[in-house]
Amino acid sequence: MTTNDPTIILACSGPALRDIDLAAQPHPICAISTAIQFLPRPHYWAFVDRPNREYGPDEGWEIMADQFVRKVCPAYIRDKTHRHIVRNITYVPYSDGLDARQRRFLDGGPALLRMTHKSILFAVQWFALNGWTRLVFAGCNLLTDIVDPYCWEVRRTVSQQKVDQQNTDHRQIAAILREWQPIARQRGIEFLSWTPDSPINDFMEPFMVTAETR
C-alpha cells in the first residue's frame, strides 16, 4: 500500500455504479475489469483478461499506457502486451493448479488463487494482501439484467444465454466472498457494501459516506 488510507473502493461494472457518487468520498478507486469504460482514469485498474473490446473501443490500450493509472493483472498477460506501450503495471503470479484449490484465502501462498477467474476476486486478494483493510464493493450488483447489464452502456441488450452464464458466475462470486469474509475479518480486514439490492448485503455491512470519510 502506497498511502496511509486503508480504504479502497472496488468499482465494479454493475449498473448500480451509475447511481453512486464516487466523488463524495476521498478514497482511492480501483476500476474492476470493464468498469474502466465508466471510470476512464481511476487510481487503479484490476483485470484478469487481456485487453479486449469490453475494455473500450481501443481495447483499453490508452489506459495501459497511462502512467497515472496503476494496472494490476495476472502475470500471464505480460505475453499479450509486449507489442504495446504499457506503463505502471504490476504482474501478479496467478495459481491454477491443485495447490491453489487446497489453499485458503490470504494464506500467504506464492500466487493468488484463480478461483472462478473473475477480476473482482483477483482484486480482493491483491488489495488485502497489500495492506488495505477496508474493501468497499461499489456497483457490485451480482445480478445481470438482460437490458441493462453494465454501468458503462445503458440499455445494452445481451443474450439470455450470456445473462444465465453471468448470473451463474455471480452466484459463485457471492458464495466465495461470503466464505472469505470471516477469514478477512480475522485479519482485521473489512468487506463493506456500497451497492443497493445486491446479494452481498446479506453478509456485508453497508459503507456509509459521512463527514468523517470526506
Domain ranges for the chain, please list them.
Answer: 7-206
CATH level 2 (architecture), domain 7-206: Alpha-Beta Complex (3.90)
Query: What tens digit of pLDDT does each residue of 148-206 get?
Result: 667 767 656 667 787 788 778 889 999 999 999 999 999 999 999 999 989 999 999 99
Angle between helices 119-129 and 160-186 (to 10 degrees): 20
What is the 8-class DSSP label of residue 137? E
Four-point Cα dihedral 176, 204, 15, 88, nearest 10: -70
With a cut of 70, say whether residue 214 has pLDDT above it. Answer: no
C-alpha cell at 16: 448500480
Mean pLDDT, the chain, rounded, equals 86
Could you give the CA distance from residue 23 to residue 88 in angstroms, rounded to a whole number? 24
> Which amino acid is residue 165, in one-letter code?
Q
Q: How confident is the model at residue 211 (pLDDT cuts 50, 70, 90)?
A: low
